[in-house]
Amino acid sequence: MLLLSGLFKKIATFIHKHPKYLFLFPWVGVLFWYAMLISMLAYWGGEGRPIWHWLYGYDISPKDYKKNYGSVGLIYISDIGTTKMQGVFIAFSLCQGIIYTTTVFVWYVINYTNKNDYLSPQEMPVDDTETNSEEGLEEQKPEVHRKKFFKFTHHERNLIYASIFFAFIGSAGIFFCSIFNTRDFHHVHLSMVGIFLAGLAISVILTSTSFILTGKDVYIKENNVSEHSIGYKFWTKEYYTKMFANIWLDSGVIKLIWVIFAIVFAICFGAIDKNDISAVFEWLVAFWYGIIFAIWSVDMYVHRKLSYQNTV
């Protein structure tokens, strides 16, 4: 436990020291994920878009299948991942999974931990916008700490903890999905696909809920209203004007919209019987997944100034 505590402190200290460019980190995950998908498509296309004999139970070579039956519109990612591309599938799935889970963790450290617990006053990062002002110069003095922003509730913290856990579960799902290929371990493979999709969806939903709760708290504090006051009625125009001016709520709603589309695509992928059409939705889910990295990057960029303040 002491070892883990010490490791967490070192990681948190590093993150708090270098908050400014962390928004670029999720893009590494995008590069790994899209590079994997594009390379797999390119390999399949370069091979002549074959239908390998294990796909539909035909004991026939890809060459003869193409000669006798022609090629299909699209095949599943997993089918290509069973070929020589399995190594790429494994390596890139692992890398992007690590990056996604780490992205959620970094977000937690930056926004939900107190930088004063990890940095000395001399090590506090300084906001560039403050350096030219007298107040900014004053804040650079060693004896001065940054002003507190607001305190997150234990519900919001717990939601982020759970989000990190399910992000890890989902990432592990896609990694083991790539190891247990669909040809030799079909049922295990399908189970891992389900774990990946469910883990990721739950993680994003939990994060969205946390953001929306935080957005509500920020709204109440900034507008000096109670939760049940007339200024907090959801049917009023003023409510929506003020609520959508707060970036916490905007971020939470955007993530919910993303996960709703992801769930619809995943249902179509699983429910459609015709394999080539089902495969289209699998590829759509896969490319849609990359967008969540971009959303996290925008979050980190927009919220990066919170890292110059105490958040607890």
CB 255 within 8 A of CB 204: yes
Q: State mean pLDDT over 14-26.
A: 75
Residue 137, pLDDT > 50, answer no
**Spatial distance between the Cα atoms of 250 and 288, rounded to a whole number of angstroms:** 19
Residue 278, pLDDT > 70, answer yes
Q: State mean pLDDT over 262-277.
A: 90
Average confidence score pLDDT of the chain:
77
Looking at residue 142, what is its pLDDT?
41
Q: State mean pLDDT over 185-199.
A: 94
Percent of the chain with pLDDT over 70: 63
Looking at residue 244, what is its pLDDT?
65
3-class SS letters over the chain: CHHHHHHHHHHHHHHHHCCCCHHHHHHHHHHHHHHHHHHHHHHHHHCCCCCCCCCCCCCCCHHHHHHHHCCCCCCCHHHHCCCCCHHHHHHHHHHHHHHHHHHHHHHHHHHHCCHHHCCCHHHCCCCHHHCCCHHHHHHCCCCCCCCECCCCCHHHHHHHHHHHHHHHHHHHHHHHHHHCCCCCCHHHHHHHHHHHHHHHHHHHHHHHHHHHHHHHHHHHHHHCCCCCCHHHCCCCHHHHHHHCCCHHHHHHHHHHHHHHHHHHHHHHHHHCCCHHHHHHHHHHHHHHHHHHHHHHHHHHHHCHHHHHCECC
**Spatial distance between the Cα atoms of 75 and 255, rounded to a whole number of angstroms:** 29
Q: State mean pLDDT over 288-301.
A: 92
**Spatial distance between the Cα atoms of 64 and 287, rounded to a whole number of angstroms:** 32
Q: State mean pLDDT over 159-173.
A: 94
Looking at residue 136, what is its pLDDT?
46
Per-residue pLDDT band at 246 (split at 50, 70, 90)? confident
Q: Which residue has the higher pLDDT, 254 or 2?
A: 254
**Spatial distance between the Cα atoms of 235 and 215, rounded to a whole number of angstroms:** 17
Looking at residue 133, what is its pLDDT?
45
Residue 308, pLDDT > 50, answer no
Note the pLDDT tens digit of each residue in 254-265. 999 999 999 999
**Spatial distance between the Cα atoms of 286 and 277, rounded to a whole number of angstroms:** 15
Collect all residues with Cβ–Cβ distance below 8 Å to 266 and sequence separation of at least 6: 197, 201, 281, 285
Produce one character per residue of 249-269: b if its CB has 16 or more CB atoms within 10 Å, e if not: bbbbbebbebbeebbebbebb
Q: State mean pLDDT over 61-80.
A: 70
**Spatial distance between the Cα atoms of 41 and 190, rounded to a whole number of angstroms:** 21
Collect all residues with Cβ–Cβ distance below 8 Å to 263 and sequence separation of at least 6: 201
Q: Which residue has the higher pLDDT, 44 or 222?
A: 44
Q: Where are the domains of the chain?
A: 2-308
Q: State mean pLDDT over 130-143.
A: 44
Q: Which residue has the higher pLDDT, 107 or 151?
A: 107
Residue 2, pLDDT > 60, answer no
**43-52, 205-214, 274-283, range with the lowest pLDDT:** 43-52
Per-residue pLDDT band at 248 (split at 50, 70, 90)? confident
Looking at residue 160, what is its pLDDT?
87
